[in-house]
Amino acid sequence: MAEEKFKSNLSGNEFPLSDKMKGNEIRNILFEFIKIEHPSFTEELYLSITELNIFRQKYISTMLSKELGQLSELENRPPHDPSTTRTYGNTTSTN
């Protein structure tokens, strides 16, 4: 007997019914990330767990790229000038 399938609202591809996930079951941050590429995707539509995992990977990759960019920016800043820092007992104040 053939396994039941559903058609993804995201791609139009068929997947096993056991792979079906509704938009409102996705974490909000990931749901909004999916909507960047698929603006018509709503909480009432369905995608596969396989497709969701692809978007998870894209999201993680995007966030890591942003973090690396921020680190590079910090590394390219001139070194901190110790003459602008005053020490008062156990606390440090920066001008």
71 SS3 class = helix
Q: How many CB atoms lie within 10 A of CB 16?
A: 13
pLDDT in tens, 12-60: 999 999 999 999 999 999 999 999 999 999 999 999 999 999 999 999 9
Please compute, for residue 67, the number of CA atoms within 13 A of its CA located in the half-sphere on the CB side. 6
Q: Please state the pTM of the whole predicted model.
A: 0.69
Q: Which two tokens stand for residue 47?
A: 């995608």
Burial 47-75, CB ≥16 within 10 A → b, else e: bbeebbeebbeebeeeeeeeeeeeeeeee
